[in-house]
Each structure stands twice: as structure tokens, then as C-alpha cells.
């Protein structure tokens, strides 16, 4: 089951964390995977790319060499799959169109899109929310997913088959204290995903949304220990999830077996969204 042999997947924000796990899981299921990210190890302008992203986390990851796009692509090729690591700024519409056209030309199809690229480092109560970072979060988290979906859509329509997965968050449905821009954009992604499920239904395209909870990514491990402990205690299973827990859900949603699942929000949160006491 869940055989993705012959399918070509594009994952945005694939250099680390959830994106990297998604890339590897899709490849293990048989897909050829294009790893895209605004940060690529061999990019001579890597530091400038991190700075231009207006992301403190991107700059920290760059300085600490937590950028694995090309390494991930190499691991995928070692599995016997085709792969490439491509620099991609999801807010740059022209670049998105060019990259997706290159994927179609060089790999023959574009079957799966995982909209994973996002920012999550803007944390402040409303009176202290930074207006520029609010706009950045809209551009990356929401408009970035729109840009990539629009670019991939024509290829999926032409072939009469496609899988689009959007990465939301439990913050989208529960809200997030000090996370107004993140929660709002992730909630909007749910609306985008459901709309695409409706539009794609007549063309063999499904669209679903995954809402992770507390997942032990590199970013989560950088947060304060006391905060991490509180978040785990808020989770029914009393543990953080692993990136692979999210990735396996995405593999299912992209598989032929999920042909009758579309427009759904799949929460992968260990019961974080339940009443816990």
C-alpha cells in the first residue's frame, strides 16, 4: 500500500524539520522528490538569502549549518529515486513558475505538491506585533502556498491526477497566544486547501490539510525548556511528536489509497486539541 512509484513530488521548505521528513518519506514510498527551499547549502549567497527572508530562525539555522536541502536530495538519490535540490522563494511568483516548469520538463510530470514552507518566529502579543513581520507571514505562509498551488495546478489538470497537501497547524483551529500572524495565516491556508479540493475534484486532484501539534523539529528544540514541558503536558499522549509522524500522514494523503479523501483537515497532534486535565 501507499506506493508512489512513478510520481514526482515537490516539497517546499524541504531543507530541515517537517519538510525534510516529508521529502524522505515520499521517496521511501517510491516518489521522485524535488527538495526546494530558500536556503541551499552550496548557495554562495546563503547568508544574504537568510537575511532577505526576514527570519531570525533562518539566520540561526544558516549560522549553525542546519540546512540540509542538498543532503536530503542526495539521500533520496541513494534510495534509487530521482531528486534535485532547488533554491525557491515561494513569495517570488516568477521564480515559482520557472522552477515548476523546470520540474515538469526535467522529471516529466508534477504529481504531488506539499506546501510546507512557512515562517513561525513572529511571537508577540497584538500590541507588539511587528507590522512588517505580519506582512511577511502573509506573503510566505498564505500567498506562498497560493503561488505554488497555482503554478502546479495546470500540470495536474493536464494529466488528470494530482495531490496537494497544505501544512497548517493546531494554532489555525485553536488560536495561538502571541501568534496572531501565524495562527491567522494557517487558518487561511485551511480555507485555501478546502477551496482547492472543490476546484480539483473534477480533474482528479485532491487537496488536504495537515495540522501538526507539538513536533520535535529543530525549531521546537530551540525554544525554552519550561515552555516545551508545558506544551507536552497539554498533549494527551504526553510527548512531542516526531517529524515522521506528520510525514507518514502526508504519504497516505498522496497515495492512491486516499483517492476518496479531499478537503479534510487531518490533525496530527497527539491529542493536543482535546480537553486535557
Please tell me the predicted confidence (pLDDT) of residue 222: 83
Active-site residue list: 182
Tens digits of residue pLDDT in 101-144: 999 999 999 999 999 999 999 999 999 999 999 999 999 999 99
16 contacts 67 by C-beta, under 8 angstroms: yes
In the prediction, which pLDDT does 61 show? 75
* Confidence class for position 56, pLDDT limits 50, 70, 90: confident
User: DSSP assignment of 77-107, as one string?
Assistant: HHTT--EEEEE--TT-HHHHHHHHHHHHHHH
Q: Given this model, what pLDDT does residue 273 score? A: 93
Domain ranges in the chain are 8-268
CATH annotation of 8-268: 3.40.50.720
Confidence of residue 224 (pLDDT cuts 50, 70, 90): confident
Q: What pLDDT is recorded for position 113?
A: 98
Helix axes 69-78, 17-28, angle to 10 degrees: 10
> pLDDT exceeding 70 applies to what percent of the chain?
100
Query: Across the chain, which distance is largest between two alpha carbons, in Å?
Result: 54
Q: What are the CA-CA distances from residue 21 to residues 52, 59, 150, 234 (Å)?
A: 25, 21, 24, 24
Q: What is the mean pLDDT of the chain?
A: 95
Amino acid at each position: 500500500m501507499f506506493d508512489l512509484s512513478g510520481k514526482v513530488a515537490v516539497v517546499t521548505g524541504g531543507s530541515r524539520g517537517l519538510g525534510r521528513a516529508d521529502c524522505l518519506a515520499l521517496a521511501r514510498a517510491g516518489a521522485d522528490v524535488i527538495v526546494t527551499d530558500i536556503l541551499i547549502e552550496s548557495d554562495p549567497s546563503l547568508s544574504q538569502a537568510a537575511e532577505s527572508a526576514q527570519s531570525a530562525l533562518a539566520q540561526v539555522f544558516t549560522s549553525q549549518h542546519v540546512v540540509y536541502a542538498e543532503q536530503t536530495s542526495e539521500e533520496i538519490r541513494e534510495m534509487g529515486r530521482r531528486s534535485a535540490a532547488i533554491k525557491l522563494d515561494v513569495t517570488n511568483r516568477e521564480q515559482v513558475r520557472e522552477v515548476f516548469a523546470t520540474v515538469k520538463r526535467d522529471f516529466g510530470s508534477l504529481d504531488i505538491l506539499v506546501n510546507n514552507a512557512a515562517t513561525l518566529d513572529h511571537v508577540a502579543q497584538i500590541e507588539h506585533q511587528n507590522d512588517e513581520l505580519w506582512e511577511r507571514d502573509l506573503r510566505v505562509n498564505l500567498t506562498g502556498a497560493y503561488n505554488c498551488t497555482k503554478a502546479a495546478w495546470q500540470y495536474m489538470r493536464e494529466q488528470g491526477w494530482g495531490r496537494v497537501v497544505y501544512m497548517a497547524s493546531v494554532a489555525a483551529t485553536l488560536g495561538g497566544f502571541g501568534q496572531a500572524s501565524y495562527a491567522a495565516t494557517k487558518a487561511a491556508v485551511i480555507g485555501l486547501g478546502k477551496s482547492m479540493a472543490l476546484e480539483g475534484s473534477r480533474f482528479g486532484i485532491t487537496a488536504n490539510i495537515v495540522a501538526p501539534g507539538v513536533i520535535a523539529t529543530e525549531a521546537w528544540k530551540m525554544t525554552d525548556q519550561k515552555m516545551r514541558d508545558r506544551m507536552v503536558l497539554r498533549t494527551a499522549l504526553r510527548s512531542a511528536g516526531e517529524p515522521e509522524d506528520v510525514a507518514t500522514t502526508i504519504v497516505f494523503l498522496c497515495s492512491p489509497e486516499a483517492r476518496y479523501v479531499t478537503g479534510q483537515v487531518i490533525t496530527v497532534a497527539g491529542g493536543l486539541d482535546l480537553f486535557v486535565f
